A and B are shown apart, each in its own frame.
Chain A
Amino acid sequence: MRIPALIAVAAVAATTLTACASTASPEASPDDLDAASCSVEDGDLRVYLNPFGSTLSDKFTDDTGIGTEIADLGGGEILARIAAEANNPQWDVVLLDGHGSLEALADDDQLLTGHQLTNLEQLTAEGQALLRDDHAWVPFSQHAAAVIAYNTDRVGETDAPRTWADLTRPKYAPIGIADPAVAAPAYPVVSWFFQDLGTDSAEDYFDTLFANGLHTYEKNGPVGEALISGETTVAALQEQNVYSMIEAGEPVDFVWPDEGAPGVVRAVAISADTPRPCAALTLVDWLLEADTVEYLMEHGEDDGIFTPLVEGVDTSSLPDDRPADAPLLLTDASFAAEHEAAIKDWFADQQAR
Chain B
Amino acid sequence: MSTPTTRRSLAIPRLPASDILGWAVIGALMVLVGVPVIFVLVQAVFPGIGLTRDWGFSPQTLAEIAERPLWQQSLRNSLVLAGGAMIGGGLLGFALAVLRHTVRFPGARLLDVCAWVLLVTPSFILAQGWVLFASPSGTFTAIFGSTVLADLVFTPGGLIVIMSLTRFPLSYLATTAALHWEDPALRHAAALSGARGWTILRTVRLPLLAPAALSGAVLIFIDTIGDFGLPAALSASYQFPTLPYSIYASVRQSPVRFELAGVLSLYLVAILSLSVLIYLRLLRRHRFASLTAQSVAFVAPPARRPWRWSALVVAFAALSLGVPLGSSLYVSLSHSVSRGPSWENLTLEHYRAITTGGSTILEGAVNSLLIAAAVAVLATILGFLIGVVLTFTRFPGRGFIDLTSTITLAIPGIVLAVGYIFVWNQPVLSHVGLDLYGRPVLLVLAGTAAAVPVALRLQLGALAQVPESQLHAAALSGVPLIRRLRTIVAPLIAPAVLSALVAVFASGVFDLAATTMLAPPSFATLPVEILREYDRGKYGYATAGAIFSAVVIIGLAAVSTVIGRRLTRRVAPTATSPHRKEPAR
Contact = CB atoms under 8 A, between A and B. Distances in A.
Contacts of A181: 249, 252-253
Interface string B153-185: 000000000000000000000000000000000
Interface in A46-104: 46-48, 57, 68-74, 76-77, 79-81, 83-88, 90, 98, 100-101, 104
Contact of B237 (A7, A20, A226): A226
Contacts of A352: 69-70, 72-74, 239, 241
A104 B255 CA distance: 7
B522 interface: yes
Contact of A69 (B248, B428, B522, B532): B522
Contact of A248 (B137, B253, B254, B336): B336
B438 interface: yes
A217 interface: yes
Interface string A337-353: 00011001100110111
A68 B522 CA distance: 8
B506 to A, nearest CB: 24
Interface string B389-416: 0000000010010000000000000100
Interface in A246-292: 248, 250-251
Nearest to A219: B535
B118 to A, nearest CB: 24
A344 B534 CA distance: 23
B472 interface: no
B34 A85 contact: no
B353 interface: no
A222 B236 contact: yes
A244 B266 CA distance: 43
A228 B335 CA distance: 13
B426 interface: yes
B258 interface: yes
Nearest to B534: A221
Given A69-B520, A104-B254, A218-B236, A87 B336 contact: no
Interface stretch (B5-13, B35-43, B282-290, B497-505): B35-43
A309 B254 CA distance: 24
A22 interface: yes
B141 interface: yes
Interface string A197-232: 000000000000000000111111110111011110
Contacts of A17: 50, 426, 428
A182 B249 contact: yes
Nearest to B34: A10
B535 A86 contact: no
Interface in A315-341: 340-341
A21 B135 CA distance: 48
Interface string B27-48: 0001000110011001000000
Interface in B412-426: 414, 418, 421-422, 425-426
Interface in A137-167: none
A3 interface: yes
A125 B426 CA distance: 42
Contacts of A101: 254
A20 B517 contact: no
Contacts of B205: none
A22 B53 contact: yes
A221 B249 contact: no
A143 B70 CA distance: 31
Chain B, interface residues (CB within 8 Å), range: 35 or more
A39 interface: no
B414 A218 contact: no
A81 B421 contact: yes
A179 B231 CA distance: 14
Given A18-B55, A80-B418, A100-B254, A353 B69 contact: yes
A349 B425 contact: no
A87 B255 CA distance: 16
Given A71-B521, A229-B136, A351-B239, A341 B257 contact: yes
Residues of A in contact with B, size category: 35 or more
Interface stretch (B107-115, B221-229, B479-487, B536-544): B536-544
B449 interface: no
A129 interface: no
Contacts of B528: 73
Given A3-B397, A226-B136, A228-B338, A81 B50 contact: no
B533 to A, nearest CB: 8
B451 interface: no
Contact of B235 (A21, A48, A69, A217): A217
A14 interface: yes
B251 interface: yes
Given A90-B425, A218-B236, A250 B336 contact: yes
Given A18-B49, A79-B254, A228 B137 contact: yes
Contacts of B425: 84-85, 87-88, 90
A337 B530 CA distance: 31
Given A69-B520, A217-B237, A79 B136 contact: no
A216 B426 CA distance: 38
Nearest to A81: B517
Nearest to B37: A10
Nearest to B238: A215
A250 B338 contact: yes
B309 interface: no
A80 B418 CA distance: 8
A126 to B, nearest CB: 23
A47 B521 contact: yes
B550 interface: no
A46 to B, nearest CB: 6
20 contacts: A7-B38, A11-B38, A14-B38, A18-B49, A47-B521, A69-B522, A70-B521, A73-B528, A84-B256, A84-B421, A88-B425, A181-B252, A218-B236, A221-B539, A225-B337, A228-B338, A248-B336, A302-B536, A340-B254, A349-B68
Given A69-B522, A251-B338, 10 more contacts: A18-B50, A74-B252, A85-B421, A87-B52, A88-B430, A221-B534, A221-B539, A225-B236, A229-B136, A341-B253
